[in-house]
Protein backbone atom coordinates (compact mmCIF):
# COMPACT_ATOMS: atom_id res chain seq x y z
CA UNK A 1 0.00 0.00 0.00
CA UNK A 2 1.33 3.44 -0.92
CA UNK A 3 0.54 6.29 1.46
CA UNK A 4 1.15 10.04 1.26
CA UNK A 5 3.73 12.65 2.19
CA UNK A 6 6.72 11.27 4.16
CA UNK A 7 4.83 8.09 5.09
CA UNK A 8 7.39 5.76 3.49
CA UNK A 9 8.40 2.97 5.85
CA UNK A 10 5.29 3.33 8.05
CA UNK A 11 2.75 1.75 5.75
CA UNK A 12 2.73 -1.72 7.33
CA UNK A 13 2.46 -0.36 10.87
CA UNK A 14 -0.46 1.94 9.95
CA UNK A 15 -2.21 -0.82 8.03
CA UNK A 16 -1.95 -3.09 11.09
CA UNK A 17 -3.58 -0.39 13.24
CA UNK A 18 -6.37 -0.05 10.70
CA UNK A 19 -6.89 -3.81 10.44
CA UNK A 20 -7.32 -4.44 14.19
CA UNK A 21 -10.62 -6.30 14.58
CA UNK A 22 -13.47 -3.87 15.31
CA UNK A 23 -17.22 -3.76 14.73
CA UNK A 24 -17.06 -0.13 13.69
CA UNK A 25 -14.19 1.95 12.28
CA UNK A 26 -14.09 5.71 11.89
CA UNK A 27 -10.77 7.12 10.63
CA UNK A 28 -9.97 10.83 10.95
CA UNK A 29 -7.03 12.55 9.27
CA UNK A 30 -6.22 16.15 10.23
CA UNK A 31 -4.19 17.56 7.32
CA UNK A 32 -4.89 15.64 4.12
CA UNK A 33 -2.89 17.52 1.45
CA UNK A 34 -3.13 15.53 -1.84
CA UNK A 35 -5.16 12.78 -0.19
CA UNK A 36 -2.89 9.82 -0.85
CA UNK A 37 -2.99 8.59 2.77
CA UNK A 38 -6.72 9.29 3.17
CA UNK A 39 -7.49 7.58 -0.13
CA UNK A 40 -5.19 4.60 0.51
CA UNK A 41 -6.57 3.92 3.97
CA UNK A 42 -10.17 4.53 2.84
CA UNK A 43 -9.70 1.80 0.21
CA UNK A 44 -8.41 -0.64 2.83
CA UNK A 45 -11.24 0.22 5.24
CA UNK A 46 -14.01 0.03 2.64
CA UNK A 47 -12.79 -3.43 1.60
CA UNK A 48 -12.82 -4.74 5.19
CA UNK A 49 -15.92 -6.57 6.32
CA UNK A 50 -17.23 -3.78 8.53
CA UNK A 51 -20.71 -2.38 7.92
CA UNK A 52 -20.20 0.66 10.02
CA UNK A 53 -17.27 2.76 8.78
CA UNK A 54 -16.46 6.25 7.64
CA UNK A 55 -13.31 8.16 6.82
CA UNK A 56 -12.87 11.87 7.36
CA UNK A 57 -10.25 14.30 6.14
CA UNK A 58 -9.89 17.93 7.16
CA UNK A 59 -7.68 20.40 5.29
CA UNK A 60 -8.15 24.04 4.30
CA UNK A 61 -5.96 23.54 1.21
CA UNK A 62 -8.74 21.69 -0.61
CA UNK A 63 -7.33 22.62 -4.01
CA UNK A 64 -4.51 20.13 -3.39
CA UNK A 65 -6.85 17.12 -3.18
CA UNK A 66 -6.36 14.69 -6.08
CA UNK A 67 -9.44 12.74 -6.98
CA UNK A 68 -7.35 9.92 -8.51
CA UNK A 69 -6.53 8.69 -4.99
CA UNK A 70 -10.23 8.01 -4.34
CA UNK A 71 -11.19 5.85 -7.31
CA UNK A 72 -14.09 3.52 -6.47
CA UNK A 73 -14.96 5.40 -3.27
CA UNK A 74 -17.86 7.72 -2.51
CA UNK A 75 -16.30 11.05 -1.58
CA UNK A 76 -18.34 13.92 -0.14
CA UNK A 77 -17.01 17.46 0.15
CA UNK A 78 -18.89 19.20 2.96
CA UNK A 79 -19.56 22.83 2.08
CA UNK A 80 -21.36 23.22 5.40
CA UNK A 81 -18.88 22.94 8.28
CA UNK A 82 -21.69 21.91 10.65
CA UNK A 83 -22.70 18.88 8.57
CA UNK A 84 -21.93 15.51 10.16
CA UNK A 85 -19.84 13.00 8.21
CA UNK A 86 -21.77 10.32 6.33
CA UNK A 87 -21.32 6.59 6.88
CA UNK A 88 -19.64 4.34 4.28
CA UNK A 89 -18.08 7.38 2.62
CA UNK A 90 -14.96 9.49 2.50
CA UNK A 91 -15.89 12.85 4.03
CA UNK A 92 -13.72 15.84 3.15
CA UNK A 93 -13.95 19.11 5.05
CA UNK A 94 -12.22 21.97 3.21
CA UNK A 95 -11.58 24.14 6.27
CA UNK A 96 -9.06 24.25 9.10
CA UNK A 97 -10.04 21.94 11.96
CA UNK A 98 -10.70 24.87 14.28
CA UNK A 99 -13.53 25.93 11.92
CA UNK A 100 -15.12 22.48 11.73
CA UNK A 101 -18.29 23.07 13.72
CA UNK A 102 -19.40 19.43 13.58
CA UNK A 103 -16.30 18.11 15.34
CA UNK A 104 -16.74 20.51 18.24
CA UNK A 105 -20.19 18.96 18.82
CA UNK A 106 -19.38 15.41 17.72
CA UNK A 107 -20.28 12.38 19.81
CA UNK A 108 -19.39 9.63 17.33
CA UNK A 109 -16.23 7.67 18.14
CA UNK A 110 -13.00 8.22 16.22
CA UNK A 111 -11.15 4.92 16.34
CA UNK A 112 -8.00 5.92 14.49
CA UNK A 113 -6.77 9.52 14.21
CA UNK A 114 -3.78 10.83 12.27
CA UNK A 115 -2.66 14.30 13.42
CA UNK A 116 -0.77 15.71 10.43
CA UNK A 117 -2.07 19.28 9.97
CA UNK A 118 -0.30 22.39 11.20
CA UNK A 119 2.79 21.09 13.07
CA UNK A 120 3.18 23.98 15.52
CA UNK A 121 3.32 23.17 19.24
CA UNK A 122 -0.03 24.87 19.85
CA UNK A 123 -1.91 23.38 16.89
CA UNK A 124 -0.68 19.82 17.43
CA UNK A 125 -1.70 20.16 21.10
CA UNK A 126 -5.10 21.65 20.24
CA UNK A 127 -5.74 18.96 17.60
CA UNK A 128 -5.21 16.26 20.22
CA UNK A 129 -7.43 18.03 22.76
CA UNK A 130 -10.18 18.32 20.13
CA UNK A 131 -10.21 14.62 19.32
CA UNK A 132 -9.34 13.15 22.72
CA UNK A 133 -12.96 12.98 23.99
CA UNK A 134 -13.95 11.06 20.86
CA UNK A 135 -11.32 8.31 21.01
CA UNK A 136 -12.72 5.13 22.62
CA UNK A 137 -10.75 2.54 24.58
CA UNK A 138 -8.76 0.60 22.00
CA UNK A 139 -8.57 3.66 19.75
CA UNK A 140 -5.31 5.10 18.44
CA UNK A 141 -3.91 8.59 17.90
CA UNK A 142 -0.83 9.01 15.70
CA UNK A 143 1.24 12.20 15.53
CA UNK A 144 3.20 12.53 12.31
CA UNK A 145 6.55 14.34 12.26
CA UNK A 146 7.53 13.79 15.87
CA UNK A 147 11.22 14.56 16.39
CA UNK A 148 13.78 16.97 15.10
CA UNK A 149 13.52 16.44 11.34
CA UNK A 150 11.56 19.58 10.53
CA UNK A 151 12.14 21.47 13.77
CA UNK A 152 12.86 25.10 13.03
CA UNK A 153 10.70 25.22 9.89
CA UNK A 154 7.90 27.73 9.82
CA UNK A 155 4.24 26.67 9.75
CA UNK A 156 2.34 29.16 7.61
CA UNK A 157 -0.99 28.33 9.27
CA UNK A 158 -0.06 30.13 12.48
CA UNK A 159 3.40 31.50 11.69
CA UNK A 160 5.07 29.36 14.34
CA UNK A 161 7.81 26.73 14.25
CA UNK A 162 7.28 23.01 13.73
CA UNK A 163 7.31 21.44 17.19
CA UNK A 164 5.21 18.30 17.47
CA UNK A 165 7.71 16.94 19.99
CA UNK A 166 6.94 19.65 22.56
CA UNK A 167 3.20 19.24 21.96
CA UNK A 168 3.35 15.54 22.76
CA UNK A 169 5.47 16.26 25.84
CA UNK A 170 3.18 19.11 27.01
CA UNK A 171 0.22 16.74 26.79
CA UNK A 172 1.93 14.37 29.25
CA UNK A 173 1.87 11.59 26.70
CA UNK A 174 5.60 10.85 26.65
CA UNK A 175 6.08 10.30 30.34
CA UNK A 176 2.80 8.48 30.96
CA UNK A 177 1.33 11.33 33.02
CA UNK A 178 -1.81 11.65 30.91
CA UNK A 179 -4.44 9.27 32.28
CA UNK A 180 -5.97 6.81 29.86
CA UNK A 181 -3.15 6.67 27.32
CA UNK A 182 -0.52 4.01 26.63
CA UNK A 183 3.21 4.54 26.55
CA UNK A 184 4.37 5.78 23.14
CA UNK A 185 5.09 3.55 20.22
CA UNK A 186 7.71 5.27 18.06
CA UNK A 187 7.52 4.28 14.42
CA UNK A 188 10.63 5.25 12.46
CA UNK A 189 9.82 5.70 8.80
CA UNK A 190 12.36 6.43 6.05
CA UNK A 191 12.13 10.19 6.60
CA UNK A 192 9.94 10.84 9.64
CA UNK A 193 8.76 9.51 12.97
CA UNK A 194 5.21 8.66 13.99
CA UNK A 195 4.44 8.89 17.74
CA UNK A 196 1.54 6.55 18.45
CA UNK A 197 -0.67 6.35 21.55
CA UNK A 198 -3.48 3.93 22.33
CA UNK A 199 -6.45 4.68 24.53
CA UNK A 200 -6.46 2.26 27.46
C1 LIG B 1 2.03 17.27 5.80
S2 LIG B 1 0.55 17.76 5.01
C3 LIG B 1 -0.51 16.38 5.24
C4 LIG B 1 -0.07 15.13 4.53
C5 LIG B 1 -1.07 14.00 4.51
N6 LIG B 1 -1.52 13.61 5.82
C7 LIG B 1 -0.48 12.79 3.81
O8 LIG B 1 -0.29 11.75 4.48
O9 LIG B 1 -0.19 12.88 2.62
C10 LIG B 1 -0.10 18.95 6.10
C11 LIG B 1 -1.44 19.52 5.70
O12 LIG B 1 -2.01 20.11 6.86
C13 LIG B 1 -2.88 21.13 6.43
N14 LIG B 1 -3.24 22.02 7.54
C15 LIG B 1 -2.57 23.09 8.00
N16 LIG B 1 -3.23 23.67 9.00
C17 LIG B 1 -4.37 22.93 9.19
C18 LIG B 1 -5.49 23.04 10.08
N19 LIG B 1 -5.57 24.04 10.96
N20 LIG B 1 -6.48 22.13 9.99
C21 LIG B 1 -6.39 21.11 9.09
N22 LIG B 1 -5.36 20.97 8.21
C23 LIG B 1 -4.36 21.87 8.27
C24 LIG B 1 -2.09 21.81 5.31
O25 LIG B 1 -2.94 22.53 4.45
C26 LIG B 1 -1.37 20.63 4.64
O27 LIG B 1 -2.03 20.21 3.47
Render pLDDT for 20-52 as a digit per residue (tens, 0 to 9): 999 999 999 999 999 999 999 999 999 998 989
Model confidence band, residue 61 (pLDDT cutoffs 50, 70, 90): very high
pTM: 0.98
**Residue 26 pairs with which residues in a beta bridge?**
54
Alpha-carbon distance 61 to 58, whole Å? 9
Q: Whose CA is nearest to atom 5 of ligand 1?
A: 32
Of ligand 1's listed atoms, the one at least distance from the Cα of 31 is 12
Span of 74-83, 101-110, 144-153, 156-165 with lowest mean pLDDT: 144-153
Please name each of the domains of the chain with its CATH number: 11-198 (3.40.50.150)
Alpha-carbon distance 14 to 18, whole Å? 6
- Is there an atom of ligand 1 within 6 Å of 191 CB? no
Greatest Cα pair distance, the chain, in angstroms, is 44
Amino acid sequence: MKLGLCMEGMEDYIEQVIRRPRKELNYLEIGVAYGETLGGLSKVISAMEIDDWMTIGIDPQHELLQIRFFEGLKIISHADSGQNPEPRSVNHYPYPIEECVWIANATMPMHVVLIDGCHSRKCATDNFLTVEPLVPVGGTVMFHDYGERNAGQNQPHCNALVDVTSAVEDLGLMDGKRPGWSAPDMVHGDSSILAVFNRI
